[in-house]
Every structure is written in structure tokens, then in C-alpha cells.
A and B are shown apart, each in its own frame.
Chain A
Amino acid sequence: MKKLLMATAATALFAGVASAEEVKIGVILGFTGPIESLTPHMAAGAELAMKEVSDSGLLLGGDTVTSVRADSTCVDSAAATAAAERLVTSDGVKAIMGADCSGVTGAILANVAVPNGIVMISPSATSPALSTAEDNGLFFRTAPSDARQGVVMSDILIEQGIKSVALTYTNNDYGKGLADAFQSAYEAAGGTITISAAHEDGKADYSAEVGALAAAGGERLVVAGYIDQGGAGIVRAALDTGAFDTFHFPDGMIGSALTDNFGSDIDGSTGQHPGTDSPGAAKYEAMVNGAFEATSPFSPESYDAAALIMLAMQAAGSTNSEDFKGKVMDVANAPGEQIFPGELAKALKILADGGDIDYVGATAVELIGPGESAGNYREIVIKDGKIETVKYH
């Protein structure tokens, strides 16, 4: 009798837990590797959204959301695939927020997300090649394709009257994709690229590479690399030898490490990274309130990626990827009530009542084509050793 009572009590307890489920979402980013200085702020952004939803108690009748972190390494596809496989098979995540770098994102998509039918939203993979990757409707990104960044970059340089540049890129999917996109846009706009040379990450010395870039010449050096890797080495060697004084930096190079390393030595350099002047960005910054760097590249995108996953779950009334993958575009785009950071509770309620939302979020999310952001960019300039915003594109 006693045993039976206990068994019943235990069953009742389990039933109670089951009705308010714990939903796990994988956060797979390169916590080690070439962009390790950016990823803590990205993961914190995604987890901020998860906490907001958990605290509201409104997701699918009171589900809580927890994050499971994994290391994509940014560069090692095999390690990233193994980490993602672990998330799906042993941790049982319902969706993946990530990955970060384009190469590993493609590998995880093809080897883990598609075979297991798991929705994946990347905050920062920008390679144009991912637009056409086979994804069964499971892959989205809150970062724009570099095909767009190449055009914006070319516009910024042409606008400043710079007609000839030297270009160096990190030798991987991201660097090559961006360099090609930029080259075709810039040359179409009448600019000249004196040299387009790849550099390998992780070398001790880049003076030979800079020697070749300097020989080709150009008004400015475009460095499509990583700030924690070869990109920084190239800039250091170019400054040391006096080959170039000013640079142009795409998103992988912009971060606090850039100004920490070089300070006012690179005054007058320009750059751009995904960003927006929509009220969402300011709201996000206010919400973070200094807990981490809210303006760090891809941190707001990460918040948005996590938010979209959870809102799509709510709209579909299910945490099953096959059910909610079709809802991601719906909640991200018009029509519906505009949703900004900090308003996820409101959005969950509207969706629960059968209403429609248009998620704007921290980065003015607008998903186009195969599920990628249309792309807003912040143009920056380095002044007195600080990154300053010029305007938004």
C-alpha cells in the first residue's frame, strides 16, 4: 500500500513537470578560436532572450527555456559537427542558435541540422554560399549575406572618393566570399583593386604578406579577416613598416580588441558591420544595461535569433522543429504588431491569442529570400582611438 501511494505520488509529480516542460536550445558559437572575443557577448544576448521568455511564463503554457552551450571553434568543421551532434542527440535541444562562422555553420547544417530535422538560426554566418545551401527550410540567419556587405562596403569607399585599394582576406569561406562580393561591387562602381591576396591565420609574422600588398599599393588597405587572428597581424605589420596608414574593416575586424590593440594609430580608418538605428538597438542596449557589451558585433543578432526561435514555437504551438520551421518567416515579417526587445512577453501573449506579430527586435529583422536578414549596416570611423558611428546603411 505504502509503495503504491509513493508510486502514485511520484507519477503525479512527473505529470506536473511534464505540463511545464523545460525546452532546451543549443547555443553553438566559437568560444575558442579566431572570434573568441566576440562570442561571449553573443551567447549572453541569446541567453538574455531565453531568460526573458522563461520569466514571462507564457511560452506554451509555462515552459521554461534553458541554453546549452557548445563550442563551434569557428574554424574546425569536424569539431563543430561533433559538438552539434552532441547537442541534438545527448542534450536533446529543440533548436540551435548558431553557428557563428560560415564554414562551420555550413558543416553543421549539412551534417546535423538537416539529417535530424532541427531548426538552426545563425546570428553571424554571412557567406553568400549559405543562401543556396540545401536546408529543407530549416536554416535562417539574422545576419545578412556578404553579397550585401560587399555592396555597402563598396558604396562607403566610393562615397569617400577612394578609387583604388589593396585587398587581403582570411583564407576561408567567410573571407573569400566577402572579398569576391566586394571586388565585383567595387569594380562595377569604377574602383580598382590593386591586389587581392589571401592570408593564413595563426602565423607569427605577416611582414612578407604586407610587403606584397605595399608593392601593389592603393589608397587604403581592406582587411577582410578576423580581429583575434591574422587580420590583427596584417594591420600590425602594415603599421610597423609604414605600408598603409588607414584601413577599411568589415565586420570580422570590428570589436573592442581593434581599438585596444591599435588605438589612435589607425585614426581615419573606416569600416562597417551589421547594425541599425532602429529604436530596437537602443532598447536592447538599455535592457542589457552594461551586463555585457550590447554593441559588440552580432550580440543583438544573437538576441534576435533566439527570440525568433521561441516566438516561432509559440506561433506553431509546438517545440518540434518540423512544426515551427514554417512559422519563423511569419513572426519575423509584417503584418502584425511590431515587437521590440524587452517585449517578448507581449509577443507571446498576442501569439497565444491567435494574433499576428512583426518581430523587429534589436536589429530591425526583416527576413528575405531563403530566410536571411535584408541587412542594415552601421558605418564607422576610428577617431582618436575610438570607434564612432558615421551613419546607417
Chain B
Amino acid sequence: MDFLNALVAFSNYVLIPAVAYGSQLALGALGVTLIYGILRFSNFAHGDTMAFGTMVTILFTWWFQSMGINLGPLPTALLALPFGILGTMILVLITDRMVYRFYRKQKAAPVIFVMVSLGVMFILNGLVRFIIGPGDRRFADGERFIMTAREFKHMTGLKEGLALKTTQGITVVTAVLVVIALFWFLNRTRTGKSMRAFSDNEDLALLSGINPERVVVYTWMIVAALITIAGVLYGLDKSFKPFTYFQLLLPIFASAIVGGLGNPIGAIAGGFVIAFSEMTITYAWKKVLVYLMPESLEPSGLVQLLSTDYKFAVSFVILIIVLLFRPTGLFKGKSV
């Protein structure tokens, strides 16, 4: 019984939140990795593009809600999501036309691209705050829980509760579907193959008649879809605030680099590595250990390695360790 209680407490506070958070990071990191692999630069505007996409989705969600359209137990935001993706696609294609294409023609060095994306980041930063404001927005509606902690306790008679939020369930299911679709696209379709070819060897790809501008447009569109989905899932699960999305840049980049930049499988693995490290290192293990250990060995302290304030430090440390000992990431990506 004690073992079960420990397992439930662990799942409730670490396993389920980390899986949901990891899925959100993985989707974000896939976007970073695709841009790095195909367009060959680190896109610093990533977090704010994510905020933009989520904002468009929220605006559509409000509009649907005001018309009384909803999905019953599921959040209305899912219905608004395609429109959010469309809005983000238009935005990234416009920025590519107006900004990135110029530097691509110049064959600018990657570091210049990084600086350019930093500029785009500041513009988007302002744009999002200008339209929706800097405040906190919750836009989740419908059923909040698949299973509440109280129901679980009644059902099983255990002392610990296990809560499963609807948004956590949606996050995992959506992430799996999106990843399957993405890999199918990259490996089975003509456009996907041409993207991979372009990523592997640009000159060879050009020689074999692949239109580079087409590859660029497709890449941006896929990235727009990925990060809007990631942003909306994160916002549904937690809450939307432009500044938090900007801060997400760090764990997302950490995930992409840990997994190996340019490697999609690495991005997914990296997302979960970062999410689980953040959660397990800042979790106070006392509750779990009290169930597992004999009474004489029970810890009196909290058994928390780092205070929750240092959550971001965890991403940093992992990033540094990986860059020092395995610069290409866990799965072989490009070295930074």
C-alpha cells in the first residue's frame, strides 16, 4: 500500500506534469531544430512567435465563445487553433519576405541571422503586448479534469490523490499526433524529402533541381504550425502571458541543443530530458520517501535538491554540461 501511495504521489507531482511539460517543450524544440537544420540559424524570435500564435488563437477563442460555439467538454481553443496556425503562418512568411530573404540573398553568416532574429523578437514582443496586453490570460474552458484527486481517492481508497487535467491529456495526445504527422511528412512525401536533402547538403540539393525558396516557405509553415500548437497547449495547461513565453526560449533551446540541433528525434528526447530534470531536481521528495522508507529512516527535511526558484538554472546547467562533453547533443546533431 505504501509503495502504491508513493507511486501515486510521484505520478501526481512529477510524472504527469513532466510528461505534459516535456511534450510542450518537444514541440517547441522541433521548430527550433527545423529552422536550424534547414535555414541554418538559431531563431531567437521563437518564443515570441509562439506568443503571437497563441494570441491569435485566444482572440478566435473569444470570438467563438461570444457566438456561443464550443466543443462541449473540450476547450474551445482547439477549434480556434487552425485559425491561429494560419495567422502565424502569414506572420512568419511576411517576416521571411521582409527580413530574412534579404540576408539569405546576401549569403549572410549565421551569426548575422541570429542578430536579425533578435530584432524580429523585439518587434514581435511589442506587437503581442500592443494587441493583447502584458497581463495573464486564461482561455481554457470545458471540463477541467479527466479525473480529480478527490475522485481518485474515493475510487482506490489510497491516501494520495492523482489528478489528471483535461489539458494534460490533450497535450500528450496532440503531441503524439503532431509528431507522427511530422515524421510521416519528412520521410514519405516529396516535399519532406526535398527538405531533408536541403538540410543534409545544400549544394547537392540545388544541383538536383530542388527549389530553395519553396523549401524555405514549407519550413516556415511547418514551424508556424508546430509552435502555435506548442504555445496553445502550454497556455491551456498553464496560462498565457507574453513574458512567460519569452522566457520559454531557454528551456526550448536547451531541449533542442541537448537532443542535438537539427535532429528531430533529438528535439523530442531533449524536451523530455529537460522537463524531467527540472521537475525532479526541484521536487521535494519527502512525501514519496516517507512512504518508501522504514520509519527509522524517514527524512525530516524536505529532500529538495534546489528551490523551485532555480528552475531555469537547471536548463542552464544541463546545457553547459552537454556543450562541454558532447557538443553534438545526445543524438547526433550539428555541433553549435
Chain A residues close to B by CB (< 8 Å): 195, 197-198, 200, 202-205, 207-209, 211-212, 214-217, 233, 240-242, 245
B308 within 8 A of A: yes
Q: Measured between alpha carbons, how far is A208 from B305 in the docked complex, in Å?
A: 13
> In the complex, what residues of A have CB within 8 A of residue B129's CB?
none
Q: Is the CB of B244 within 8 A of A240?
A: no
Report the tally of A-B residue pairs with Cβ distances under 8 A.
Answer: 77
Some 22 contacts from A to B, beta carbons below 8 A apart, are: A198-B309, A203-B244, A205-B237, A207-B17, A208-B279, A209-B308, A211-B13, A211-B14, A211-B283, A212-B282, A212-B302, A212-B307, A214-B13, A215-B283, A215-B285, A215-B286, A240-B144, A240-B145, A241-B149, A242-B162, A242-B163, A245-B150
B311 within 8 A of A: yes
Q: Is the CB of B161 within 8 A of A242?
A: yes
Q: Is the CB of B244 within 8 A of A208?
A: no
Q: Is the CB of B238 within 8 A of A240?
A: no
B241 within 8 A of A: yes
> In the complex, what residues of B have CB within 8 A of residue A212's CB?
282-284, 302, 304, 307-308
B97 within 8 A of A: no
Q: Measured between alpha carbons, how far is A200 from B247 in the docked complex, in Å?
A: 15
Give B270 Cβ to nearest chain A Cβ, in Å: 20
Give B49 Cβ to nearest chain A Cβ, in Å: 17
Name the interface residues of B232-277: CB closer than 8 Å to any CB of A. Answer: 234, 237-241, 243-244
Chain B residues close to A by CB (< 8 Å): 12-14, 17, 136, 144-145, 148-150, 152-153, 161-163, 165, 234, 237-241, 243-244, 278-279, 282-288, 302-304, 307-309, 311
Q: Measured between alpha carbons, how far is A197 from B308 in the docked complex, in Å?
A: 10
Quick one: which of B161, B163, B165, B311 contacts A208, CB cutoff 8 A? B311
Q: Is the CB of A242 within 8 A of B12?
A: yes
Give A208 Cβ to nearest chain B Cβ, in Å: 4
Quick one: which of A203, A204, A214 contacts B287, CB cutoff 8 A? A214
Q: Is the CB of B302 within 8 A of A241?
A: no
Q: Is the CB of B12 within 8 A of A241?
A: yes
Given A202-B243, A215-B284: A242 touches B238 (CB 8 Å cut-off): no
Q: Is the CB of B165 within 8 A of A211?
A: no
Q: Is the CB of A204 within 8 A of B17?
A: no
Given contacts A204-B239, A208-B282, A214-B13, 10 further A-B contacts (CB under 8 A): A198-B309, A204-B234, A205-B238, A211-B13, A211-B282, A212-B283, A215-B288, A241-B149, A242-B161, A242-B163
